[in-house]
Amino acid sequence: MDELPIGRRVAYWRGRRKMSQQVFADRLGKSKSWVDKVERGVRRLDKFSVVYDIADVLQVDVTLLLGKEVERKPETQNCIDQVEVEEIRAALERYDQMSAFFQAVPHSPPLTEMRKAVSHAWLTYQHAKYGVLARALPKLLRDAQAADSAHASSDEASTAAHLLGQVYQIASSALRKVGEHELSWLAADRSIAVSQRAGDQLLAGLASYRVGSALLALGRVRPSLEVNVNIANRLAPVGPARPGEDQLSVYGMLLLNGAMSAARIGDSATVRDLLYGAEQAARELGGDCNHYWTSFGPTNVELHRCATAVELGDGRLAVEAHEKMNKAGFHAMLPERRAHHYLDIARGYTQIGDVEKAGEMLLEGDRLAPSEIRCRPLAHEVLSDVLRRTRGTPPAPIAELAEQMGVGV
């Protein structure tokens, strides 16, 4: 995009933000005709103040509009910025397998190195180091795609496909965290196709989980519920033989994700049934585990019990469940899970009008995993709500967090 005129860049980012020319013009305080002339290059943007106003409305760094390399600020180092999103998008838009049909496959790293890189990426995600992950993902995607193409006709084909399927899922999860829901859906959908080539039903089941999460984030709640429940039913343990721990973990996570979808539409009966099924699976599993990078177990079921209560609008139930939770199990969870839970409970406290406790929960999450709070649009909304409803001057730690996150006090 560096070679594009500034007007074309404005049009591009306006389209990405799904704004019509009229809406964009209204937010700028300009006419639709003015916007149209700027985007066509008929009218020059020669005032920096106007360029900064446009960047604010489009929620992009001004350097993206000017075609310069972004200078990342220290406080955004652990988040995913627009440049990194576009690099991930470019990697997802590659079609190496199709290219391999016509020409020699480019060099790919050894699969042993790929396994280590993929495991490291999973751990980076589960420790909520989203900025670190974002800077590694474009190359990891390209390498995994190249490896998948290079081994397409070898004995290692299923292994390479499995690794690529995992990378797509990591990308999907990270993109959803920062509000890039369409791109998250694309990555998850890619993982389903690759997982089928890998011949791994559980990996395909987890890919379906990611698709369900992306659909839920997009507001496509019923399709999200259907995909989670349908695939969970196919992976449900049947027969007298004890199911494997991997199977129980993937099955349980699909039920939990389905419960979140059911809660979004207010179907409390389905929420209760799905949580019960997940609880049974966790009990059979015997404890908290991280099979297939799921963090599934009794504690994660309790976290979802709180989260579904919040989605149902029952903040008091969520807070009560939080207070009764097994503290040892909770503190043994990975940082992303715990910080995510603090954000959910902050929402619960706002629902019952206790904005002071809501603020405390945001601070707890920020201390544990800053990226989970500072990088997520949802956390910005909750913090804005806390500030708006706080009488008088907000506590100094909350005011400082708001300043660091760019949320107006």
CA 200 to chain CA centroid, Å, is 23
Of the listed ranges 74-83, 216-225, 338-347, the one predicted with least confidence: 74-83
CA distances from 394 to 270, 345, 381, 388 (A): 39, 19, 16, 9
Q: Which of the four pLDDT bands, split at 50, 70 and 90, describes residue 273?
A: very high
The rounded distance, in Å, linking the Cα atoms of 403 and 185 is 32
Task: Identify whether the C-beta of residue 121 lies closer than 8 Å to the C-beta of residue 136.
Answer: yes
Task: Identify whether the C-beta of residue 210 lies closer than 8 Å to the C-beta of residue 173.
Answer: yes
Token couple for 263: 């809660």
Of the listed ranges 9-23, 314-328, 381-395, the one predicted with least confidence: 9-23
Q: For position 72, what pLDDT does the model report?
A: 46
Q: For position 70, what pLDDT does the model report?
A: 45
- Does 227 have pLDDT greater than 90? yes
Q: Render 241-292 in DSSP notation, one character per residue.
A: SPPPHHHHHHHHHHHHHHHHHHHHTT-HHHHHHHHHHHHHHHHHHTS---GG
Q: For position 96, what pLDDT does the model report?
A: 57
19-23 mean pLDDT: 91
Amino acid identity at 147: A
Token couple for 276: 């019960």
In this prediction, what percent of the chain has a pLDDT beyond 90? 71
Q: For position 1, what pLDDT does the model report?
A: 47
Q: For position 369, what pLDDT does the model report?
A: 96
* CATH tag, 6-66: 1.10.260.40
Q: Give me the residue label for tokens 């995607």.
A: 141
Q: Give me the residue label for tokens 């009764």.
A: 324
Q: Mind listing the pLDDT tens digit for each residue in 278-309?
A: 999 999 999 999 999 999 999 999 999 999 99
The rounded distance, in Å, linking the Cα atoms of 113 and 118 is 9
CA 144 to chain CA centroid, Å, is 20
The rounded distance, in Å, linking the Cα atoms of 209 and 207 is 5
CA distances from 28 to 22, 31, 32, 53, 56 (A): 10, 9, 10, 7, 9
Task: Identify whether the C-beta of residue 18 lies closer than 8 Å to the C-beta of residue 51.
Answer: no
Q: For position 103, what pLDDT does the model report?
A: 53
Q: What are phi and psi of 153, to 5 degrees?
A: -110, 15
Please work out, in degrees rounded to the nearest 5, the angle formed at the alpha carbon of residue 308 by the alpha carbons of 354 and 248.
140
The rounded distance, in Å, linking the Cα atoms of 11 and 16 is 9
CA 378 to chain CA centroid, Å, is 11
115-128 mean pLDDT: 97
Token couple for 40: 């066509």
Q: Which of the four pLDDT bands, split at 50, 70 and 90, describes residue 104?
A: low
pTM greater than 0.85: no
Domain segments of the chain: what residues? 6-66, 89-111+124-219
Q: For position 106, what pLDDT does the model report?
A: 57
State the helix-helix crossing angle for 396-405 and 377-389, rounded to 10 degrees: 140
Q: Mind listing the pLDDT tens digit for each residue in 312-324?
A: 999 999 999 999 9
The rounded distance, in Å, linking the Cα atoms of 392 and 385 is 14
Q: Mind listing the pLDDT tens digit for each residue in 52-98?
A: 789 878 877 677 787 755 444 444 447 887 778 888 888 887 765 54
Q: Across the chain, what does the average pLDDT equal? A: 90
The rounded distance, in Å, linking the Cα atoms of 33 and 273 is 55
